[in-house]
């Protein structure tokens, strides 16, 4: 019984939490490897009671969204909260995150260069403390090798067959084997790639890597499934011979997207596909088209550019903006520059952090970019205008979490009373900005409630035209009352058509109706709140539900 949680008990649980780290450390290293995260990773992205994470340096303080003070709403950036709390500085570092229950009120406080924002009521929170750097040394196969305590040599870490479970990715290193780089720097490049592979923690349960050499013609040196231990990968990299020729990186990237990432060669389902392209100088061919092909194959392209062309060489460069054109999103995340091949050890860790950041890999299929979500919004008279606005806010808060674009997530909205009105369909708007603007301006209809008819209407008119979409289909129904017609039949037809339904009821909505409409398991697809203001905490429940269902559909 939740009400029996006395403050004393909570305190007990809290103390236990504080004691846990010591117990866990004695047990074994695997759990405590800090997870490399990004500036944007939110509390809700880490689904653990307690986690050790590693924040990168150089996050921009203005871009952090942080809600609360000391206790932060789980939509807040973890690294942002850590800077705000004074746990780390702008150069990043280890942070320990504890999940906490939701709160009614998060306050706004300016601290350490960050102005946190207020938020009224959220379903979960977290707190941050300094991560232990000793933990990092003791267990940091994945992160500590760049800075071994004993000087420059790479520390030999105990080989674990399972690898780094927190970094799941299928990675192709596309190395430069052209005359641009030359034999000598080619060897330095191999050295660097080896260090990256080692720090990634290659293993059966962790990242898998393969290698392709770009030159005149691409050559796949080894596939993902050839070697699944870091030691074997290192050995295989050493064996790769320099080929020489033009720097046909575009051709090699295309070849990698099409021929390297196949089920036959070891690609795993539901795990991000990544190609890390090393370019010394510039490519001799067109890389933009190759970038588009890679995206179509769901491959995340990272460009590591080394040694920019000097002014005298610029005339020979086909396209100076090649880096931005090759990546799926030109937001700085997918590109990386190193001035030359000397002293590259310090670049290993940041690159590994990026490659292990699952939630930023939006170029491959994730729940954020591969779903169609239609909202069926009750516009009946009992709702009233101001509560109708709260419903729209609820819908917007869900919608804005997704990567809306013509190749990404799609959103549609239908309002219903006895009647139905398609406010906008899946293909009408393909930017988040437009979708949110249109949602905010939906006019309230007012009338009766026929939810069954509305479901049939939406299945036919909104989902019908996108029958061939590769995205997974979701319908989120928000209603405040009893339907005058049967909901069971139309909902069953929707389920049969492959549409997963979440039902969200407010005030007078009968629980039986909500359960009849919701997909199975009903408990995790039907939600109820007595008050319209109670919709807000349900936002994250629905988002989590969509992501969970999406992942399950990918298994």
Q: Which positions lie near ligand NAG, rule CB under 6 A?
A: 104-105, 107, 222-223, 226
Distance of closest approach, residue 401 Cβ to ligand NAG, in angstroms: 25
* Tokens 């289909």 belong to residue: 473
Q: Identify whether 521 is preceded by a cis peptide bond (ω within 30 of 0).
A: yes
CA distances (Å), 351 to each of 114, 177, 292, 313, 413, in order?
26, 21, 23, 27, 40
When computed from its CA atoms, the radius of gyration of the chain, rounded to whole angstroms, is 26
Measured in degrees and rounded to the nearest 5, phi and psi for residue 171 equal -120, 130
From CA 441, how far away is CA 396, in angstroms rounded? 11
Distance of closest approach, residue 221 Cβ to ligand NAG, in angstroms: 7
Distance of closest approach, residue 118 Cβ to ligand NAG, in angstroms: 7
Helix (H, G, I), strand (E, B) or coil at 404: strand
Instruction: Write out the DSSP string of 216-260.
Output: SS-EEEE-TTT--SHHHHHHHHHHPPP--S---HHHHHHHIIIII
- Which residue number, 240 or 294, has a Cβ lying nearer to ligand NAG? 240
Distance of closest approach, residue 312 Cβ to ligand NAG, in angstroms: 40
* Contact residues for 124 (Cβ-Cβ < 8 A; gap 6+): 43, 44, 73, 74, 99, 100, 101, 102, 540
Distance of closest approach, residue 222 Cβ to ligand NAG, in angstroms: 4
- Which residue number, 91 or 105, has a Cβ lying nearer to ligand NAG? 105
- Which residue number, 222 or 282, has a Cβ lying nearer to ligand NAG? 222
Distance of closest approach, residue 37 Cβ to ligand NAG, in angstroms: 29
Measured in degrees and rounded to the nearest 5, phi and psi for residue 268 equal -100, 145
From CA 209, how far away is CA 199, in angstroms rounded? 12
- Which residue number, 226 or 446, has a Cβ lying nearer to ligand NAG? 226
Distance of closest approach, residue 536 Cβ to ligand NAG, in angstroms: 13
- Which residue number, 109 or 507, has a Cβ lying nearer to ligand NAG? 109
- Which residue number, 104 or 468, has a Cβ lying nearer to ligand NAG? 104
DSSP 163: -
In degrees, to the nearest 5, what angle opens at C-alpha 256 toward C-alphas 229 and 230?
10
Distance of closest approach, residue 225 Cβ to ligand NAG, in angstroms: 6
- Which residue number, 243 or 544, has a Cβ lying nearer to ligand NAG? 243
CA distances (Å), 47 to each of 42, 183, 344, 542, in order?
10, 46, 34, 15
- Which residue number, 104 or 312, has a Cβ lying nearer to ligand NAG? 104
């Amino acid at each position: 019984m939740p009400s029996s949680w006395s403050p004393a008990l909570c305190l007990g649980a809290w103390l236990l939490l504080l004691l846990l780290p010591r117990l866990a450390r004695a047990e074994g290293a695997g759990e405590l490897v800090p997870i490399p995260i990004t500036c944007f990773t939110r509390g809700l992205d880490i689904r653990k009671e307690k986690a050790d994470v590693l924040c990168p340096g150089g996050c921009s303080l203005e871009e952090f969204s942080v809600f609360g003070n000391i206790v932060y709403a789980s939509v807040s950036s973890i690294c942002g909260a850590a800077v705000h709390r004074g746990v780390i500085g702008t150069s990043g570092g280890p942070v320990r995150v504890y999940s906490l229950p939701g709160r009614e009120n998060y306050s706004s406080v300016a601290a350490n260069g960050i102005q946190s924002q207020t938020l009224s009521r959220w379903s979960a929170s977290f707190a941050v403390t300094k991560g232990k750097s000793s933990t990092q040394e003791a267990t940091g196969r994945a992160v500590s090798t760049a800075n071994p305590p004993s000087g420059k040599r790479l520390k030999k870490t105990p080989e674990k067959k399972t690898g780094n479970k927190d970094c799941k990715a299928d990675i192709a290193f596309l190395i430069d084997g052209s005359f641009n780089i030359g034999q000598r720097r080619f060897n330095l490049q191999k050295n660097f790639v080896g260090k990256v592979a080692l720090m990634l923690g290659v293993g059966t349960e962790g990242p898998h890597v393969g290698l392709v050499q770009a030159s005149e013609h691409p050559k796949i040196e080894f596939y993902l499934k050839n070697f699944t231990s870091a030691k074997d990968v290192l050995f295989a990299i050493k064996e790769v011979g320099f080929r020489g020729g033009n720097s046909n990186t575009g051709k090699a990237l295309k070849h990698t997207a099409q021929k390297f990432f196949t089920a036959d060669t070891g690609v795993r389902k539901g795990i991000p596909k990544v190609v890390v392209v090393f370019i010394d100088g510039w490519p001799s061919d067109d890389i933009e088209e190759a970038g588009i092909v890679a995206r179509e194959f769901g491959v995340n392209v990272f460009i590591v550019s080394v040694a920019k062309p000097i002014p005298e060489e610029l005339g020979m460069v086909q396209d100076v903006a090649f880096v931005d054109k090759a990546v799926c999103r030109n937001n700085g995340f997918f590109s990386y520059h190193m001035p030359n091949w000397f002293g590259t050890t310090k670049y290993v860790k940041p690159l590994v952090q990026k490659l292990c950041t699952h939630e930023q890999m939006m170029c491959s299929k994730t729940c954020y970019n591969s779903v169609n979500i239609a909202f069926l919004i009750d516009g009946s008279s009992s709702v009233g205008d101001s509560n109708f606005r709260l419903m729209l806010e609820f819908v917007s808060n869900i919608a804005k979490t997704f990567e809306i674009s013509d190749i990404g997530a799609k959103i549609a909205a239908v309002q219903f009373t006895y009647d139905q009105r398609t406010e906008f369909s899946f293909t009408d708007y393909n930017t988040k900005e437009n979708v949110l603007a249109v949602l905010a301006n939906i006019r309230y209809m007012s009338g009766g409630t026929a939810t069954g008819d509305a479901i049939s209407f939406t299945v036919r008119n909104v989902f019908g035209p996108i029958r061939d979409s590769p995205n997974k289909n979701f319908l989120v129904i928000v209603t405040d009352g009893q339907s005058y017609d049967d909901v069971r039949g139309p909902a069953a037809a929707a389920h049969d058509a492959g549409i997963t339904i979440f039902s969200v009821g407010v005030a007078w909505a009968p629980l039986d109706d909500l359960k009849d409409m919701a997909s199975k398991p009903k408990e995790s697809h039907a939600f109820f709140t007595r008050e319209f203001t109670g919709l807000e905490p349900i936002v994250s429940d629905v988002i989590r539900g969509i992501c969970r269902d999406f992942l399950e559909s990918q298994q």
